[in-house]
Amino acid sequence: MSVKSAINKEVFIPHDEKMLVAAQVKRRTKKKIPFLATGGQGDYMTFICISVTNKKPSCVSITKVKQFQGSSAFVKRSQWTIDQLRQVNGIDSNKDCPEFDLMFENAFDQWVACSAGEKCTFIQILHHTCQRYSSAQKPDFVNCQSKLLGGNSILHSAADSVTSAVQKASQALNERGERLGRAEERTADMMNSAEQFSVTAQKLAMKHKC
């Protein structure tokens, strides 16, 4: 089982939620934490997760989840609703980069994802989720590449794939129809030739009788 599947199973499914995406991150500016709530110092991995409740009306949350060194368990730390999100800063709108910031009404975090691709996927899904579920004012997405806010996003690519499949199927049907049409024309020509041959044969038979 992958780490993200384990997070979904352990943190979200028990609360009747479904995790939409998770990005492994580190702070760009480290905070000094001399004593951790688990009882001592130690390294840990941090994940920023987006989840939605299965029950209606849907509630979307952005949750900070940690896994401490030496432990297989995941610990839910901070959590915000999507309506508390004020701004998503992609840092550079001209190229892929792993850095991004999340600003909430009562918090501000500067992150570095484990890869530019993971950050891009996270922001794509976050943007789509905000457009779909935000009931209040939608957050601002600044310094983000246009492909992350629409255009060639994952969701649009999926839609394009479906459209392409439909177009290919339609083209195949049209080509099949054309082949059937040509076959019908050949059949009609053969029938006409057979009728003409029959008429000619009848004329010759009458001529010999005479």
Reported as a single tens digit per residue, the pLDDT across 148-179 is 997 444 444 444 454 555 566 667 666 766 67
Is it the case that residue 187 has pLDDT exceeding 80? no
Looking at the chain, the whole-number percentage of residues with pLDDT higher than 90 is 59
CATH number for the domain harbouring residue 26: 2.30.29.90
The pLDDT value given to residue 10: 96
Reported as a single tens digit per residue, the pLDDT across 105-138 is 999 999 999 999 999 999 999 999 999 998 778 9
In a domain, 109, yes or no: yes
The parent domain of residue 85 ranges over 3-150
In a domain, 143, yes or no: yes
The total number of structural domains in the chain stands at 1
Reported as a single tens digit per residue, the pLDDT across 64-111 is 999 999 999 999 999 999 999 999 999 999 999 999 999 999 999 999
In a domain, 37, yes or no: yes
Q: Are 33 and 120 in contact (CB under 8 A)?
A: no
Single-letter amino acid, residue 181: G
The pLDDT value given to residue 209: 57
pTM: 0.67
Cα torsion 128, 131, 134, 135 to 10°: value is: -160
In a domain, 23, yes or no: yes
In a domain, 159, yes or no: no
**Cα–Cα distance for residue pair 129/139, rounded to 1 Å:** 11
The pLDDT value given to residue 167: 64
| Nearest by Cα to 104 from 75, 78, 131 | 78
Spatial CB neighbours of 138, under 8 Å, sequence gap ≥ 6? 130, 131
In a domain, 162, yes or no: no
In a domain, 38, yes or no: yes
In a domain, 156, yes or no: no
Across the chain, mean pLDDT equals 83
Which residue(s) pair with 75 in the sheet?
Answer: 66
